[in-house]
């Protein structure tokens, strides 16, 4: 078993370039083909804050982080094109583990790794800069929700509800079938590029990905568009194990579904999409249940909030 300190930075870079497709990598900067309406986003992930290495195999962990980063590209209505990876690695990290990690990171044929940076550090962390393209289509912007629009999501929510805690418990005891389902969904999110054709066909102009919790994303949409967004809690679709904890499930985050607005009178997008509320005049976010307005302090993930619990504890709480 070799560690990074055995082969050095240049040996590690040569190893991943020799083994995996990394188009345009090797020069001081990547040279990309001309893009029409490019869309760019950056996400950072650090062990102990966003993930733990023992959660799953290294290739599946890399895929999870890549799909999380790509979710922002999908929310803009763009298609993935390329990714740059800047990694911080402890010198004693196992090279074979890292090779499997890069196997997952390079697994998408539509989003090749085109470069990045490698540095030594005390923790394992990676920053992914993902580049997408809208082409001739307009980007989906948070600022284009209008009063009278209906509010929709692309799928059930609640994947991360208590999932880190369950993963920890699963090291010491057997999980139930439902708990195993929960963990599997949490570990394998998918950026919802598949939903874009139906959304485009019915004229969607505004969208956001649900990474920090449904309520938090609704607040973002409302603030950027200058509207009031009302969500009817009983309409929100939930994964099976989260049905008894709707508020916690909607606050947990890391669902990576899309939240979007549909203009009044537009045809609905079809099966697999769920109408959960409306936009009106005013400002902010309102939550109701069976027609009654309810209060909640569960707004979602915030890196600098004292209320935020990281992966060492629970994601949502029951």
Of residues 240 and 273, more confidently modeled = 273
Average pLDDT, the chain: 89
Reading the block at residue 287, the tokens are 């939550």
Going by C-alpha positions, the residue among 316, 311, 314 that lies closest to residue 55 is 311
**pLDDT confidence of residue 21:** 67
Decide if pLDDT at 312 tops 50.
no
284-289 and 228-232 beta bridge pairing: parallel
Domains 4-133 and 142-294 equal at CATH topology level: no
Q: What is the pLDDT of residue 91?
A: 92
Write the CATH number of the domain with boundaries 4-133.
Answer: 3.30.1330.10
Tokens describing residue 34: 């001309």
d(CA 177, CA 174): 9
Centre a 10 Å sphere on the Cβ of residue 309 and count the other Cβ atoms it contains: 15
99, 12 Cβ separation under 8 angstroms: no
Exposure b/e, 163-186, CB count within 10 A at least 16 = b: bbbbbbeeeeeeeeeebeebbebb
Q: What is the mean pLDDT of residues 252-264?
A: 95
Of 64, 57, 311, residue with least CA distance to 168: 311
pTM for the full predicted model = 0.89
Strands of the sheet containing 125-133, edge to edge, are 38-46, 125-133, 79-89, 112-120
What is the tens place of the pLDDT at every residue in 150-186?
A: 999 999 999 998 898 889 888 878 888 888 888 999 9
- Percent above pLDDT 90 for the chain: 69
In angstroms, rounded to a whole number, what is the distance separating the alpha carbons of residues 131 and 66?
12
Cross-strand pairs, 278: 150, 230
Break the chain into its structural domains and give their ranges: 4-133, 142-294
Q: Say what the pLDDT of residue 17 is.
A: 78
The larger pLDDT score, comparing residue 277 to residue 4, is at 277
pLDDT at 309 over 90: no
Superfamily of domain 142-294: PurM-like C-terminal domain (3.90.650.10)
- Count other C-beta atoms under 10 Å from residue 91's C-beta: 13
134 close to 262: Cβ distance less than 8 angstroms:
no
Res 295: pLDDT: 85
pLDDT score, position 299: 58
What are the residues whose beta carbons fall under 8 Å from the beta carbon of 261, sequence distance 6 or more?
144, 145, 146, 149, 150, 151, 152, 204, 205, 206, 207, 221, 225, 279
Phi and psi torsions of 96, nearest 5°: -60, -40
Distance CA 228, CA 222 (A): 6
Q: What is the mean pLDDT of residues 201-212?
A: 95
Least confident of 2-11, 29-38, 158-167, 228-237: 2-11
Average pLDDT over residues 22-45: 83
- Express each pLDDT in 76-107 by its tens digit: 999 999 999 999 999 999 999 999 999 999 99
Chain segment 101-159, per-residue pLDDT in tens:
999 999 999 999 998 899 999 999 999 999 999 999 999 999 999 999 999 999 999 99
pLDDT at 317: 38
Position 55 scores a pLDDT of: 94
Task: Report the alpha-carbon distance of residue 272 to residue 130 in Å, rounded.
Answer: 27
Q: How far is CA 54 from CA 2, 47, 51, 59, 250, in A?
A: 19, 10, 9, 12, 26
* pLDDT exceeds 60 at position 11: yes
The C-alpha atoms of residue 66 and residue 83 are separated, in whole angstroms, by 9
Question: Is 269:262 a contact under the CB 8 Å cutoff?
Answer: yes
Q: Is the pLDDT of residue 310 over 50?
A: no
């Amino acid at each position: 078993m070799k560690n990074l300190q055995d082969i050095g930075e240049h040996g590690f870079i040569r190893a991943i370039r020799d083994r995996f497709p990394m188009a345009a990598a090797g020069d001081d900067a990547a040279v990309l083909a001309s893009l029409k309406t490019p869309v760019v986003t950056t996400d950072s992930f650090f062990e102990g804050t966003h993930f733990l290495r023992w959660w799953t195999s290294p290739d599946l962990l890399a895929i999870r982080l890549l799909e999380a980063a790509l979710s922002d590209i999908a929310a803009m209505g763009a298609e993935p094109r390329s990714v740059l990876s800047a990694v911080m690695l402890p010198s004693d990290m196992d090279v074979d583990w890292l090779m499997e990690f890069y196997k997952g990171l390079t697994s998408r044929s539509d989003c090749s790794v085109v470069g990045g940076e490698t540095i030594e550090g005390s923790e394992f962390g990676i920053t992914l800069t993902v580049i997408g393209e809208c082409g001739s289509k307009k980007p989906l912007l948070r600022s284009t929700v209008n009063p009278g629009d209906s509010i929709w999501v692309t799928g059930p929510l609640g994947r991360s509800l208590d999932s880190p805690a369950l993963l920890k418990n699963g090291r010491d005891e057997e999980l139930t079938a439902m708990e195993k389902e929960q963990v599997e969904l949490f570990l394998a999110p998918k950026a919802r590029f598949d939903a874009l054709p139906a959304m485009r066909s019915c004229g969607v102009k505004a969208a956001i990905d649900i990474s920090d919790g449904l309520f938090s994303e609704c607040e973002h949409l409302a603030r950027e568009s200058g509207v009031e967004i009302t969500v009817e809690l009983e309409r929100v679709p939930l994964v099976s194990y989260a049905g008894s904890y709707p508020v916690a499930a909607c606050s947990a985050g890391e669902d990576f579904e899309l939240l979007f607005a549909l203009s009044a009178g537009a045809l609905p997008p079809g099966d697999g999409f769920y109408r959960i509320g409306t936009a009106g005049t005013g400002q902010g976010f309102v939550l109701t249940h069976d027609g009654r307005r309810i209060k909640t302090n569960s707004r979602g993930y915030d890196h600098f909030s004292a209320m935020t619990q990281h992966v060492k504890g629970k994601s949502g709480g029951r």
